[in-house]
Structure 1
Amino acid sequence: MRLKRTVTAAAVALSLLATSVACSKSDDAKGDGQIDVWIAFTDYRLDWAKQRADEFHQKHPKYTVNIQGYDSYEVLFDAVTGAVQKGSPPSIVQYFEAATQDARDAVDKDGQPLFVSVEKAINGRADVLGEPVVLNDVVDAARNYYTVNGEFTSMPWNTSTTLFYANKNLATKAKVDKVPQTWAEIKEACGKIMKLADHPKHCVSWPNHGWFPEQAVAEQGGLIADNDNGRSARAKKLNLTSPELLNFVKFQKGLYDSGDYYYSGKQNDWDGPKNAFAAQEVAFLMTSAGDATAIVKDGQTGGFGVDVARMPYNGDVPYAGNLIGGATLWLTAGQEKGKEDASLAFMQFLNNPTNAASWHKTTGYVPITKAAGAQLETEGWYKDHPYAKVATEQLALTNGSPAATGVLLGSFVSIRAVVTQAIEDVLVSGADPDKRFAEAQLAAQKLLDDYNSLYGG
């Protein structure tokens, strides 16, 4: 597989361990009737996917869908690399949005494109094996992100955005009348909350992960890369020293220095901030909409209640929009026609209105089709669960610019790691943001240059 990253021994070991959570189908079911689907979930989301696979098999007895779960997108990414090198890739792969350019550039062991565009494979059909095609009904934010050079590349599934969660009890005690909508309002609210006699350990938290500064840059209308964020042509130049990026880093540093921001001390740690919020050790949490259902339940269990709101933005500049997160399903090229159709049919089945609505209710991810959103509205779901609509409403506010659509980069995973390390150095080691991100710019640009020298055409 022609990807920048290589498979380490550890990654291979992890990929082998992941078979323990594979969907319980017979190992000798290999062949044209088996659709192997690899996803980056090993929790209740894997269980949900297995149930849909069983239901699909009942409708289409000729085909057995094997759902195999991995511990993270990164581990899955490496496992696919190893499988391609052996000539045995799965039929469908779930890649997170940061791997979009890598997926487009990936090739099989014979040097042919590893994936085929889902839109091209559907070829205008209204249904595949009797499953209505829902690709054309995908919500705009996801459609726009995964449409490259005018072609819808993959089937979006778990689509999220960043939301802001508030502890109702603490906010009420501190007389914070509304959930903060801007960075300035976060500072103001934290000032009140941390003056409480029984104030939490810290005021606010979010993971140290590259997605959050990317969101902040998009909100301010800034670009991460040239060529319209890699959308009008392949991205060749990064900009990690932009005012938009540094504005956010300095905002985060100010909160950290004042003791308001809680950093778990671990990069890419999604559980630490979420657990701190559940334990009422912080009053506010910024994290994925994909955790909305679980976070609201934590508030109910903890007896403090949760308000859910848009991701706060820099109120000093015009708002451009927020980005999607999550992942999409890629169709492996070169499958026998019947098997390819079965793979396409499963993608459509997984995202039909009923299943997309169920997935949203179970997780908090955005209803991926407009029909699913309409069904939820008709059912009264949003009336009873108003928090569940916030992510969809936020994504609808985009101005449609390249900034708010999202960047496409080769070696994006590694570039994110450079940004994450730089933020940690600013927070923990006291590095000067301007100098540290000048260094990050050089390191990240080298990664992009190396990637493009191999795959830039």
Structure 2
Amino acid sequence: MGDDGRIVVEVLLADHPFEGFLDPVRRRAAEFGAAHPDYEVRISTYRYWAETGREDFIRILDRGRVPALVDVFFTETQHARDAVAATGGPLFTPVQRAVGGRREILGEPVVLDDFVDSARRYYSYDGELVSMPFSVSTGLLYANMTMLRAAGITEVPQDWDGLEAACRAVVQTDGGPPHAIAWAVDGWFFQGAVCQQGGLLADHANGRSGRAQKVDLASEELLAWATWWQRLHKDGLYFHTGAAQDWAGTFEAFIEGRVAFLCNSSVMAQSVVSAGAQAGIEVVADGLPRNGAVPYSGDVLGGDSLFLAAGLPPEVEDGALAFLQYLLNPEGAAAWHKSSGFIPVTHGSHRLLEAEGWFADKPHHLEAPKQLDASDGTPAATGALVGELANMHADLVQAMRDVLEQGADPARRFAQATDAAQQRLDDYNRRTVERHKAHWLEAAQLTPRTSDRGPGTT
């Protein structure tokens, strides 16, 4: 209870390095409190992307006590599912289980069945929605159509071969840029490329049918992507800034006209299009190019979801669940899309935006939902659910830097990355099992066995 007697729902959100990023959520929290005078939603934040942000967040989980709602970056989904409460048992409870089939909570209509399919699949396990998709994104290809038309290209390429040919045409044009394409050296793009080709990063159906025990960072699909990338770089078509995860540097190269193509997050669609217009560039957003030699499976999503703490008092749990429905009702999800750039995560919000003419005026916002909707729904397309995914991304980044900067052989270098990632996953799984066993033993010691009871007891 708060000092004023209201029921307090504590919410921990991931803040982004953009001014006023969470202001819309804070407004929704205030509106919810006004509509439900018995409740107060209190928001605190953490910076996952800060220098020690991930370590700080893991420490929050490992303490075993969390606020009612916790915003979890997608790479930490398995860690959140494995987290143990200080009192024993899971730290979080599945949202769908807590809703329990209700159609409304505290008068707020339940939106669990309205999520776009790709988001619902990613955050579900055994058909049960574990956490609420909140901020969902995917990768997009941004094209400088002004530059492309000068090279005789009128449409954005759809596959790797077409993109490579367009890159060569652009740099060979009189007055063309020194390079043709840029994207950050980031593990997310590796995941996306493997997803597109129907490949798996982990066993047990990418960790979807059981705990992931084995990883493969040197699969046929991953090496196809890495060797194509290596060729673009060797031929001077790909622009490498020399830094890992240089999202800002690649963005600047595109806006300054030093490349004709940029692969970046769909969250940046409005920023890329607006900055391009200010620079006199016509920018078109399209789906990421695909390996045309294999069937397309889907593209991985990014972003984060909201987990519900286990063991809450019933009135607090209902308040948290009701706030989730309010936050992501059609108006709320549409407003979050407009302010943040993340996709409208429910069908209702998409319909609302469409009726308003939002997509007709800003067609670049349609590409991410369209790309995610094209998924075939397989575990490959859904993406990997695996422990230490963030560090696996780091292994991929370092391996690719060695390929680009030192000429390392991709097959050999990514086999080494697999060994490192496997050791890390083995350690993670062992620690997880040991932690769970410790809590099981503690619980067993606190529960009297039949043989320990006195005569005549049952």
What TM-score does the superposition give when structure 1 sets the normalisation length?
Answer: 0.89
* 8 A contact 1:37–1:65 mirrored in 2: no
Corresponding letter in the other structure for 1:148: Y
CA–CA distance in 2 between the matches of 1:336 and 1:202? 58
Aligned position for 1:213: 190
For residues 232-311 of structure 1, the aligned pairs below 5 Å read 232-311=209-288
The answer to whether structure 1 residue 349 and structure 2 residue 349 are counterparts is: no
How much does 1:66 deviate? 2.8
The answer to whether structure 1 residue 51 and structure 2 residue 52 are counterparts is: no
Structure 2 regions of 5+ residues with no counterpart?
437-458
The answer to whether structure 1 residue 187 and structure 2 residue 174 are counterparts is: no
Deviates further, 132-141 or 52-61: 52-61
How much does 1:50 deviate? 2.0
- Aligned equivalent of 1:37, options 1, 12, 18: 12
Higher Cα Rg, which structure = 2
Aligned position for 1:129: 106
* 8 A contact 2:65–2:85 mirrored in 1: no
- Aligned equivalent of 1:360, options 337, 341, 349: 337
CA RMSD of aligned residues (A): 2.0
* 8 A contact 2:64–2:83 mirrored in 1: no
How many residue pairs match? The answer is: 431
CA–CA distance in 1 between the matches of 2:372 and 2:321? 27
Corresponding letter in the other structure for 2:412: K
Structure 1 regions of 5+ residues with no counterpart?
1-26
Secondary structure of 1:33's counterpart equals: strand
Q: CA deviation digits over 1:11-60, x for unaligned, max 9?
A: xxxxxxxxxxxxxxxx9889842423322324242222222222222222
Aligned-pair identity in percent equals 42
Aligned position for 2:425: 448
CA–CA distance in 2 between the matches of 1:233 and 1:455? 14
For residues 305-384 of structure 1, the aligned pairs below 5 Å read 305-384=282-361
CA–CA distance in 2 between the matches of 1:92 and 1:279? 41
How much does 1:276 deviate? 2.0
* 8 A contact 2:202–2:215 mirrored in 1: yes
CA–CA distance in 2 between the matches of 1:62 and 1:73? 35
CA–CA distance in 2 between the matches of 1:318 and 1:408? 23
* 8 A contact 1:202–1:281 mirrored in 2: yes
What TM-score does the superposition give when structure 2 sets the normalisation length?
Answer: 0.89
Aligned position for 1:392: 369
The answer to whether structure 1 residue 68 and structure 2 residue 75 are counterparts is: no
Aligned position for 1:21: none
How much does 1:62 deviate? 3.1
Deviates further, 415-424 or 51-60: 51-60
How much does 1:412 deviate? 1.1
CA–CA distance in 2 between the matches of 1:131 and 1:275? 43
* 8 A contact 2:145–2:154 mirrored in 1: no
Q: CA deviation digits over 1:174-232, x for unaligned, max 9?
A: 22121111111111111111123332342111111111011111111111111111111
CA–CA distance in 1 between the matches of 2:247 and 2:4? 36
Corresponding letter in the other structure for 2:400: I
- Aligned equivalent of 1:404, options 363, 378, 381: 381
* 8 A contact 1:73–1:96 mirrored in 2: no
How much does 1:270 deviate? 2.2
* 8 A contact 2:33–2:41 mirrored in 1: yes
Secondary structure of 1:297's counterpart equals: helix
* Change over 3 Å in CA distance of 1:35–1:227 after alignment to 2: same
How much does 1:395 deviate? 1.2
* 8 A contact 2:62–2:84 mirrored in 1: no
CA–CA distance in 1 between the matches of 2:113 and 2:326? 14
* Change over 3 Å in CA distance of 1:86–1:51 after alignment to 2: same
Q: CA deviation digits over 1:55-79, x for unaligned, max 9?
A: 2222223333233333335755433
CA–CA distance in 1 between the matches of 2:189 and 2:141? 12
CA–CA distance in 2 between the matches of 1:31 and 1:154? 26
- Aligned equivalent of 1:159, options 136, 152, 177: 136
Q: CA deviation digits over 1:135-188, x for unaligned, max 9?
A: 111000011111112210000011111111011211121221211111111111
